[in-house]
Structure 1
């Protein structure tokens, strides 16, 4: 068992102090529900100042939006309860859809607004004339908690978010160094490397939210920009290293091929450089000399144009070309990491590509609509059961059911988390009952109340910073504070307490059963949909249909892959879906490159490349239509080898001149050769051990 650290204790004490300050001010101002101010402190508090500030601002905006909707919607629809249920469900579903469409901290505005409406509106249906006062008072109470949490978190031993982001990136560097070491040694499968691949993707995904909170941490705009650049380069390393793996494995397995002198030493030095610590001096102003030396060795090892007509020569050229890209990206990552850590230095990107610059993210709109529609339907059914039963405390059941469904709508399988919500709430009910009927009758002043609250709330607060306990402990703290319902005078009724809290538990149990029935699919369905969407996009890249923005198309595909990898379990299978998905991405990227290059090439090469792209499009359209990965037709291998032969023959003709135009054409042809080799290796990985020189196949 790992005991709470000093930082955990400090956070818990600060949060408890802010909660007590908020409660005291709420009681002094005679707010109707001062306990909401105390609960809000626990909701918005975070060990880091930037996260607390961003959550506080967005909670204030979300509360104001939900409260305004309650004031506008309750009076006109209160006399039509079933119609009001539909209106309520439409609001919840719409705002929830907006929330899960935004993966930054800003999504909290829409999430909070989605369930703030039922929290305010449902208790007001019996007294619609008081909905405005209820909305105003709730806004005041929550704002009070937000202000107290923000001030205490910012003034008392503030903890910055930037060091945590650096810790996360350092962990990524360690995993990336291991992953790169294994890849450069010719190993792409195994439980360890699959686990590293999943951790790398999970770290990249988690940084998106953290970086959106970093702007509230007094971080300089230029450093914030560099942090986003670093995440982008981190995202690129995985597919680039994967693209390097296949030609390296083919070279390792080509027993008849004699490796060029120095290749093994080059790979060993690259591995050593990947595992080397960051330099003591800032590298932000100057290039890394080790990286420059590696690039020079790669350039010296490039095979001559006539060697590209052989399979081994084409493989070596492709491997060296992709090796240089990996070195460029790794140097960019190291330089950006140094600049961010030392808050100084200039950065000039080493890795440049026409596909860079896209900002679009991938969202599975179908699953999002199903998730939000399921939540809206749950609200309508819960309201209907409440109306039909005439249960006086049924509003609490509907409210907590809506909150639980909204909280976990973005998860692939929300039912287990809803059940944890139910368990945490049951614990809170018991704790609140003990306090309300056994402890508080003996409390006669506020200092005594603080003393009696201190031990349990501070102990629970030490677990909030830990991800595995965060949700449960926050819910216990928030719900206990809410269920006790502290007022300026003691007025507790056991039956009222029991009825209202049993209603809340009933609502959570209903939410659990609802999500279990309507969303039993888990990550398997989400992964299958991501795969089919990926296949459709690969087909699009190889087709003649226009792509509005190829850079955004590439960015969307890369983002989807980062979402897919954590959903796939670690395995030691060489045909594991994550490895196959990397190959799909490489095929798409190579197809995009070929589409762009065919417009710049002359001779017979463009027609041969178009035939290859048509075969790729047909294959992936078939996979997407049949919802299953199918065997690649052997005719596609022949088309690729024929195109390689045309490109190499044309490249040899142009390479013999000194004309600038001819040299540019030769460079484009070499790029096309690398893309074609990448397609062949990705589409037919099983042939890596027994490849026949494509030029010889064509001549035969």
Structure 2
């Protein structure tokens, strides 16, 4: 058995725990006289996770989804059973609706809606000939799944539980170390721009992964909820690092590495290397550096007489923000390690709860919902037309596969792999059903026989790289065997059920390939365009957006697009897009809008024209063309020229925001030539 990195003790322990929970659930279901005890066994293998919080979250939401699906079975089947077409349409629409809603919620609770959808398809069609038993079957299904959930959750928490805290702390430490390395590379210029950009993309993807991991931690009791709150606060600051590094890199590229700003970058590098055990000492060093940067900014502000001076002033400000963000990260990392509470953490966590920003693609969610509707309707049409009693299995298996693979751009390659794994599970089920099980005379002998396959499959489940293999083998074997309180050797029923299973797989593969599948390039383009629309909305002022909201959403998009960009050919036009630049533009626009409200009406009109121009450009989806960048740069230069001679505080902030906006929206454009007046700005 090939496991990347080799089989470790924790993998074997996880497999033993999972197998033990499954057999305990099987025994309880048998003793309770439930009609389909294999549902309890399969539930264990569906929800298990090496971490206790992951198992609990899936357990809670699987039970809720099953209960909601059971309610819909009782509502739909008895009332529509006499009209097969209406019943098929109702179940198809319900599955599509639930999948659509689940894809709009990228949190663990999305599992509720997905499961509520395909539970109706999986169970409802089996009740067509006996609609009067709908309520009893729905109740027993909830009971069977609840037994599996309780056994998995209890064993996961009681028997050598593996908590997410240490794993999460290790991953956070790794992210911060990688971010620190990237920061040093940006400040020193040791790496090429393309390398730095790839590293920023990787950090964004890791931040998205950490967000999902943090959601699981919240299900580990009071300690887990406290840890999750600290992590969400830290993630707020982690998100802020990426656009800062992007702009600092651009500013250093424009100014060169050896100018008057070099001592400041060296000072920041020294501070990053400073390692203090005492939190108060570390904060004192950060405060001293921030005071030093503030004095330098004042001197630059008083003596700025060139475009490079404005860039140097902007660079000093970005470096100051970088120091603040890193100091916050150190405080919050200390909170995670020690369990202490700081006002910073409470403030950030509160803002996180008020505005959690995740990207949502309504178009792809609708296409995924349409694919499952088509699969259910086509499967039911074949079932009704052929009169084949096992035909419902095509619609059932097809609906499940369309749901569980809905988040993938193109699930066809995965379905091909699923096909080979299903064939393996089918062969194993055949040997069990017709060779081993007729010879087994006790429950304990059956447990020992099942362990021959389920224990190795459990080891595969413990490793992310082999999880799909372990899941398909274990779950398919359990449901193909249909473990009951007596052995069935009906070859005809086994062959028909297997044929329907592979028919559902084939139907799902065809439907996904024609309706749902998109290329990595097209998916990346959709993410870029969604970022452009966000900038357009911010510039148009159509709705008030918090800076952290847009930062979180744009960073989330960057994390989603990063693995897709790695799959594109070098000549792809999509690679020219830069979501971090779009984020910087959006944040500077928000700053312009705040400053605009402080200005006299006469000074607001040029800014209004500028914001309308930006909104139009980004709305058109072609904000990166050279001609339009030049036009926007000209408008920005006119606005900058208007505020150079004004020493007021709002105008000074406006000047800085315009400089940042020009660097983000018009990269590579010819520097402006201004007639700088002899002015001084008081502190």
TM-score between both structures, scaled by the size of structure 2? 0.91
Is 1:215 the counterpart of 2:207 in the alignment?
no
1:23 equivalenced with 2:3 (yes/no)? no
Write the mapping of 1:208-357 to structure 2, written as runs, cut at 5 A. Answer: 208-220=211-223, 221-252=225-256, 259-260=259-260, 263-274=261-272, 279-281=276-278, 283=279, 288-302=283-297, 303-348=299-344
- The equivalent position to 1:678 in structure 2, one of 643, 650, 660, is 660
Deviation at 1:130, TM superposition (A): 2.2
User: Aligned runs of 1:413-492 on 2, under 5 Å?
Assistant: 413-492=410-489
Q: 1:570 to 1:275 in 2, by over 3 A?
A: farther
Q: 2 CA distance for matches of 1:243 and 1:574?
A: 24
Instruction: Show the counterpart of 1:8.
Output: 11
Separation in structure 2 between the aligned mates of residue 329 and residue 576 of structure 1, nearest angstrom: 31
- 1:156 alignment counterpart: 159
CA distance in 1: counterparts of 2:514 and 2:655, whole angstroms: 52
Partner of 2:578: 580
Matches of 1:191 and 1:640, distance apart in 2: 28
Structure 1's unaligned 5+ residue stretches are 652-664
Structure 1 residue 691 corresponds to structure 2 residue 671: yes
Aligned residue pairs total 671
In the alignment, is residue 643 of structure 1 matched against residue 625 of structure 2?
no
1:55-104 deviation per Cα after TM superposition (whole angstroms, max 9, x unaligned): 11111111111112111111111111111111001110111112111111
Residues 603/498 of structure 1: CA separation in 2 closer, same or farther (3 Å cut): closer
Q: Is the 8 A contact 2:377 2:395 kept in 1?
A: no
Aligned-partner SS, 1:632: helix
2:56 is the counterpart of 1:56:
no
User: 1:494, CA displacement in angstroms?
Assistant: 1.4
Q: Note the C-alpha offset of 1:269.
A: 4.2
Structure 2: unaligned runs, 5 residues or longer? 679-683
Offset of residue 504 of structure 1: 0.4
For the pair 1:532 / 2:529, whether they are aligned, the reply is: yes
CA deviation after TM superposition for structure 1 residue 29, in Å? 2.3
Question: In 2, Cα distance between the equivalents of 1:295 and 1:579?
Answer: 33
Please give the TM-score of this superposition, normalised by the length of structure 1: 0.89
Moved more, 162-171 or 540-549: 540-549
CA RMSD for the aligned pairs?
2.9
Aligned to 1:655: none
Give the CA deviation at 1:152.
Answer: 0.9
Deviation digits for residues 385-432 of structure 1 (CA, Å, limit 9, x no counterpart) = 221121211111211100000001122222222333333222211111
Does the 8 A contact of 1:103 with 1:208 survive in 2? no
1:659 corresponds to: none
1:149 Cα deviation (Å)? Answer: 0.8
Query: Over residues 319-366 of structure 1, what are the superposed CA-to-partner deviations in whole Å (9 max), with x where a residue is unaligned?
Result: 0101111111112122111211221242437999xx996434331212
Provide the rounded CA distance (Å) in 2 between the counterparts of 1:275 and 1:157.
39
Residue number in structure 1 paired with 2:94: 91
Identify if the C-alpha distance between structure 1 residues 38 and 531 changes in structure 2 by more than 3 Å, giving closer, same or farther: same
Q: Does 1:165 align with 2:168?
A: yes
Secondary structure at 1:463 match in 2:
helix
Query: Is the Cα–Cα contact under 8 Å of residues 46 and 471 in structure 2 kept in the other structure?
Result: yes
What SS does the aligned partner of 1:686 have?
coil
1:140, distance to aligned residue in structure 2 (A): 1.4
Any idea what the Cα deviations from partners look like across 1:513-565, whole Å, max 9, x if unmatched? Answer: 11111123223222222222222222232235454767645544444344333
Farther off after superposition, 383-392 or 631-640: 631-640
Query: Matched residue of 1:491: which SS?
Result: coil
Displacement after TM superposition at 1:574 (Å): 13
Contact 1:404 1:421 in 2 (8 A): no
Task: Give how far 1:123 is off.
Answer: 1.1
Q: Where does residue 661 of structure 1 map in the other structure?
A: none
The 5 A counterparts of 1:562-577 are 562-569=559-566, 577=575
The alpha carbon displacement at 1:204 in A equals 1.5
CA distance in 1, matches of 2:484, 2:537: 63
Correspondence for 1:134: 137
- Contact 1:34/1:487 (<8 A) preserved: yes
Does the alignment pair 1:669 with 2:651?
yes
Structure 1 residues 578 and 201 mapped into 2: Cα distance closer, same or farther (>3 Å)?
farther
Residues in 2 aligned to 1:501 and 1:265: alpha-carbon distance in whole angstroms: 72
